[in-house]
Amino acid sequence: MDVLHDPTRRHVLELLRGGEHSVRELTENTSVTQPAVSQHLRVLREAGLVAVRPDGTRRLYRIEPNGFAEVRAWVDSFWDQTLDAFVDYAEGNQPS
């Protein structure tokens, strides 16, 4: 979750939602330098949120769907609580 705090990292992830991109392509669509984009990609890769594959002299980055399992589980835990509260309410088991 700490990795997603940075707005540039979130923007890079948004760009990668559309498919694979090289560092150059990502740099062209952000307001930071190529070294900064590379650094953000390294952090995202180490967190398991993006994957990289070589393509000739380029390296292409993409979203790693399995990397979001922990984030999804955390968000779902709130949803589960909400659904449980709704079921209790619907069944007339409201807390006093």
Tell me the fold of 2-63. Answer: Arc Repressor Mutant, subunit A (1.10.10)
Q: What is the per-residue pLDDT for 53?
A: 96
- Cα(77)–Cα(40) distance, integer angstroms: 28
Which DSSP category does 52 fall into?
E
**pLDDT for position 72:** 84
Please report the sign of the dihedral spanned by the C-alpha atoms of residue 47, residue 35, residue 6, residue 26: negative
pLDDT tens per residue across all 96 residues of the chain: 788 899 999 999 999 999 999 999 999 999 999 999 999 999 999 999 999 999 999 999 999 988 888 888 888 888 777 888 888 888 886 655
Strands of the 21-22 sheet, one edge to the other: 21-22, 58-63, 50-55
Residue-range domain boundaries for the chain: 2-63, 66-96
Distances (CA, A) of 31 to 52, 64, 93: 22, 24, 52
